[in-house]
């Protein structure tokens, strides 16, 4: 289930480090700049229907170590220092989190992205989960002889492997996703004819494994 995502979103980025690792991989100003890129991306994809107001807090040292990928406890400890209750979405950025992948509450408000992965694609992907979007998959089909074809009765869904979607391995949202988020209005074709489809924004692909 996805949600209508329009208007102004208030987002706080909480930069946090640990008792056993007080590193600060980048400055708060750099984090703000990266979130500016995310805001510009969402504004472009939504046709200006979504805007972000970003606030960066930290670095905050929490009373825990970076072991065990204990992201929910890390969030609770960070919240003891930073007031996050007034924001629509909270992005927690651990300075280091061995073995942890980016993660988000599906249909919720919280995102966790380790500092080495805090850049446009993972941030946009995980916020997509907050907005209710699932992974964008690819369909791999073969014919009766085992040769790959466009479509058949023998197909396999490959999770993540849509190379043209933010919720897969690419950049951008599909027409289906835009409609689900309230950024596009589908048109129902009721009769035969010639219809012109608008040119979509060119997409780029990125080998972006390691997001959830």
Residues whose CB is less than 8 angstroms from the CB of residue 212 and which lie 6 or more positions away in sequence, other chains included = 101, 102, 103, 104
Which of 98, 93, 87, 97 is closest to 59 using CA atoms?
93
Q: Report d(CA 191, CA 85) in Å as an integer.
A: 51
DSSP strand pairing (89-94 vs 103-104): unpaired
Position 188 scores a pLDDT of 85
Least confident of 45-59, 154-168, 198-212: 198-212
> What are phi and psi for residue 17, nearest 5 degrees?
-130, -170
Residues linked to residue 51 through DSSP beta bridges, in sequence order = 8
Rounded average pLDDT over 115-138? 97
Question: From CA 57, how far away is CA 71, in angstroms rounded?
Answer: 17
pLDDT band at 113 (very low <50, low <70, confident <90, very high): very high
Q: Lowest mean pLDDT: which of 26-35, 182-191, 202-211?
A: 202-211
Residues 6+ apart with CB under 8 A from 89: 9, 10, 11, 12, 109, 110, 111, 127, 130
pTM: 0.88
Q: 201 pLDDT band (50/70/90 cuts)?
A: low
pLDDT in tens, 37-56: 999 999 999 999 999 999 99
DSSP code, position 23 = -
């Amino acid at each position: 289930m996805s949600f209508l995502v329009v208007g102004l979103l208030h987002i706080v980025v909480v930069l946090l480090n640990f008792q056993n690792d007080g590193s600060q991989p980048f400055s708060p100003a750099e984090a703000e700049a990266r979130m500016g890129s995310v805001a510009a991306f969402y504004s472009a994809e939504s046709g200006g229907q979504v805007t972000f107001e970003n606030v960066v807090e930290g670095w905050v040292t929490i009373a825990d170590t970076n072991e065990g990928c204990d992201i929910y406890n890390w969030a609770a400890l960070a919240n003891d220092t930073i007031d996050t209750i007034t924001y629509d979405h909270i992005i927690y950025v651990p300075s280091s989190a061995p073995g942890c992948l980016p993660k988000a509450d599906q249909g919720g408000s919280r995102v966790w992205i380790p500092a080495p992965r805090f850049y446009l694609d993972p941030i946009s992907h995980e916020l997509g989960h907050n907005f209710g979007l699932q992974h964008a998959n690819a369909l791999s089909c073969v014919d009766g002889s085992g040769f790959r074809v466009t479509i058949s009765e023998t197909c396999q869904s490959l999770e993540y492997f849509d190379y043209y979607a933010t919720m897969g391995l690419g950049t951008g949202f599909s027409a289906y996703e835009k409609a689900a988020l309230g950024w596009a209005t589908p048109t129902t074709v009721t009769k035969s004819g010639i219809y012109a489809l608008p040119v979509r924004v060119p997409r780029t692909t990125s080998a972006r494994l390691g997001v959830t």
